[in-house]
Structure 1
Amino acid sequence: MFQLLGRILRKIFFLEAETPTSRFSSDLEKDSVKSQDGAKVKQKGTKRRISEDSQESVTPAKKKRELEFPSQKDESACSKPVGSRKRKASDTEQLPTKRIKESTDEEEDPKLEFEAKYVELNPLGEGGCGSVFNGYRKSDKLVVAIKHIPNENIYCTHFDESGRELSVEVAVMLKLQSGTSNSAGSKAPITLLDWYVLPHELILVLERPMPASDLQSYIERRGGSLKESEAKIILKHLVEAAIHLQDEKIFHRDIKLENILIEMCSGAPRVRIIDFGLSCFTETNSNHNTFYGTECHIPPEWLIRYQYSAGPTTVWQLGIVLFECLHKKHFNSSSFIRRTIKINNRLSKDCKDFLKQCFTRDPKERPSLEQIHLHPWLN
């Protein structure tokens, strides 16, 4: 009896003792599961953050490598203008450092290359866009003109077919030289021999015709004006040069006495055109809304509608050149429109008509370059 009672008591005792232990163990297991789940969630979250961090850190490095070493597949993308490329936040922190490093390495070498190839001498002149110096090429003592253009004076740039960003002056001169012989002086536009991009400026090495002077100095040495017969020779060459530029879809925008060289190597004056710093590529009938050029030579259409186009503007400027060749005074568009400047009545009838045709106020009525080339005064 006592033995049976003892067994029952022991059994009850053990059951009660086991139950808390089992419950405690079960709670521990639940807590353990929760903590494991929590640990898994945290680990998963940590893993996600690591993955995200790795993407943010790896992606820019990958992009940086692509920019440094573009593959053939990426060639077209790399050749697009920088302005059209959509920047990402990951790009903004790494690209400037790379660009600064590249510009430092690349811009020191061109200066050394320039100094190794050319000798710069005395200054020849200074204009609104830069300074020009006399110089020569070391290899053959070829006389050259060396033009220094500060970066802030490079108003327009152009992307060529390979994606290079060039100043418009360089791009235009390369276009004019394409498809021709490498010999300098084969065309009216001056020849670009070399160019160097430095940190703060662009250096152009240009053909320097000898003997030659700009048309302004040429006129001054002849008493301030030219004979009509001599002016006719110069204008005919100048019109032909302007037609050539038009055929190449190039708008000089600033044809004037200072930008015309008169080369006297053969006794007869030969026209050369310089300073393409304000030029642009254009179509014949396209309108321009921003004026680049000499303020006192603005065509009337700009004064009225704030628009101008290549052909009519060039004809207007050629009229100004002829006017200043034959009159001992400078031309001013506003004064001419107000009729305070008049054409010399002593000029021949055909010459006066040529000037009047160039100075037609309505650009739609103004003759084209081809039409003035056929004008009786030039033929």
Structure 2
Amino acid sequence: MAHGTKRKAGAESVTPNKKRKEMDCDVSKSCSSPSASQQSNGSMATSVTICKPTFEDAYLQLEKLGEGGFGSVYAGKRKTDNLPVAIKRILRVDVEGRPSVSQRRTTLAPMEALLMLRAGGGRASVGKCAAVSLIDWYDLDQEGILVMERSVPCVDLLTYLDNNNGPLREDQAKDIMKQLVKAAIQMLSEEVCHRDIKAENVLVQTNSDVPRVRIIDFGCGCLVRKIPYFYTEYFGTPAYALPECYSVGRYEAGPTTVWQLGALLLELLDGHKQLNTSEFLQRKTTLSSELSRGFNLNQAMEQ
């Protein structure tokens, strides 16, 4: 894989001969500011504070930071206090949302926004969680806009690896993975499955001795299913699809997170090598033999 190459995510059928139904997500836990409340009939009404003033009056959009399968992201700042923000613009046709009611007005709350509120909280949680916090969202005629906190200075983990010119030391990888595992446990406890954990979706704040990681881009995410507990259509970067997607055509939320964290650990310790599940299952993946005694990555990946 070329250094710095961005790996796009999306809906991917890894067993093309099998027909799959699209997942149906329902919000089942309460969020706060915006918030979700369970109705007596089991459906979900989401109470969201409508942002005043308008997006143009409240925020200044700056340079483009990146583009993926589910929207474009720009740097920006809040006009009232120059707070750095990231602005994600998603075409309305690509927004998976749920009806939201506030001030007697029904709008479309992007599923991504609801997932972010569970994982990283709202305005009051800025800087407190591993998952970036959602500050505002706007439901416009042609697009949805998410306004998120933006850590400064920071780079994505793929760039961080490029700047390191090779694999991280084991102690460096340990510092990053401990934070990611803790974040994954917290997200799953809030019934959020990211489904696209990879180097491009992890930011590294570089203003401290121990780099702090932040998780971004919940565009492929979903709520953890209870009944049924498995999914039959994979949303995420195809290379990181679970082995179960190939063997039985379905997968679960928890194992998805564990597999993707393991793939990311391989990348941290073996330079810029990207794990490809299909190649791994065909035993075409070679792993580093230079790890310290007691750290058997081959054994860890096979378990």
TM-score scaled by structure 1?
A: 0.62
How much has 1:131 moved relative to structure 2?
0.8
Deviations 1:113-151 (A, max 9, x none): 000001111111111111111111110011111111112
Secondary structure, counterpart of 1:331 in structure 2:
coil
**1:316 corresponding residue in structure 2:** 259
Q: Find 2:85's aligned residue among 144, 148, 153.
A: 144
**2:144 corresponding residue in structure 1:** 202
What are the equivalent positions in structure 2 for 1:9-48 lying under 5 Å apart?
none
Between structures 1 and 2, the one with greater strand share: 2
**1:29 corresponding residue in structure 2:** none
Distance 1:111 1:183 in 2: 20
Aligned residue identity for 1:157: G
Q: Which segments of 5 or more consecutive residues in structure 1 lack a partner in the other structure? A: 1-75, 83-108, 361-379
Instruction: Identify if the C-alpha distance between structure 1 residues 359 and 157 changes in structure 2 by more than 3 Å, giving closer, same or farther.
Output: farther
| 1:117 and 2:58 matched | yes
Instruction: Identify if the C-alpha distance between structure 1 residues 356 and 310 changes in structure 2 by more than 3 Å, giving closer, same or farther.
Output: farther
Are the counterparts in 2 of residues 160 and 171 from structure 1 also a CA contact under 8 Å?
no
How much has 1:225 moved relative to structure 2?
2.2
Q: Find 2:111's aligned residue among 168, 181, 184.
A: 168
Are the counterparts in 2 of residues 110 and 198 from structure 1 also a CA contact under 8 Å?
no
Are the counterparts in 2 of residues 316 and 359 from structure 1 also a CA contact under 8 Å?
no
What are the equivalent positions in structure 2 for 1:95-106 lying under 5 Å apart?
none
| 1:303 and 2:235 matched | no
**2:134 corresponding residue in structure 1:** 192
How much has 1:352 moved relative to structure 2?
2.2
Secondary structure, counterpart of 2:295 in structure 1:
helix
Instruction: Identify if the C-alpha distance between structure 1 residues 111 and 128 changes in structure 2 by more than 3 Å, giving closer, same or farther.
Output: farther
**1:9 corresponding residue in structure 2:** none
Deviations 1:65-122 (A, max 9, x none): xxxxxxxxxxx7999579xxxxxxxxxxxxxxxxxxxxxxxxxx97970000011111
**2:237 corresponding residue in structure 1:** 294
Distance 1:297 1:218 in 2: 20
Distance 1:249 1:183 in 2: 18
Instruction: Identify if the C-alpha distance between structure 1 residues 78 and 236 changes in structure 2 by more than 3 Å, giving closer, same or farther.
Output: closer
Instruction: Identify if the C-alpha distance between structure 1 residues 236 and 110 changes in structure 2 by more than 3 Å, giving closer, same or farther.
Output: closer
| 1:279 and 2:221 matched | yes
Distance 2:101 2:193 in 1: 20
Whose Rg is larger? 1
TM-score scaled by structure 2?
A: 0.77
Q: Find 1:227's aligned residue among 146, 169, 178.
A: 169
What are the equivalent positions in structure 2 for 1:229-378 lying under 5 Å apart?
229-283=171-225, 286-328=229-271, 329-353=273-297, 356-360=299-303
Are the counterparts in 2 of residues 343 and 352 from structure 1 also a CA contact under 8 Å?
no
**1:126 corresponding residue in structure 2:** 67
How much has 1:222 moved relative to structure 2?
0.5
How much has 1:224 moved relative to structure 2?
3.3
Deviations 1:238-293 (A, max 9, x none): 00000001111111000000000111232211111000111111147811111100
Distance 2:256 2:134 in 1: 25
Aligned residue identity for 1:225: P
May I ask how many residue pairs the two structures share in their alignment? 256
**2:158 corresponding residue in structure 1:** 216
Deviations 1:36-57 (A, max 9, x none): xxxxxxxxxxxxxxxxxxxxxx
If asked which structure has higher relative contact order (CA below 8 Å, sep 6+), I would say 2
Secondary structure, counterpart of 2:285 in structure 1:
coil
Aligned residue identity for 2:193: F
Distance 1:196 1:251 in 2: 23
Aligned residue identity for 1:341: T
Instruction: Identify if the C-alpha distance between structure 1 residues 306 and 349 changes in structure 2 by more than 3 Å, giving closer, same or farther.
Output: farther
Q: Which piece of structure 1 moves more, 308-317 or 324-333?
A: 324-333
Identity of aligned residues (%): 40
Are the counterparts in 1 of residues 123 and 133 from structure 2 also a CA contact under 8 Å?
no
Instruction: Identify if the C-alpha distance between structure 1 residues 243 and 81 changes in structure 2 by more than 3 Å, giving closer, same or farther.
Output: closer
Deviations 1:272-315 (A, max 9, x none): 10001111111478111111001011111011111000111111
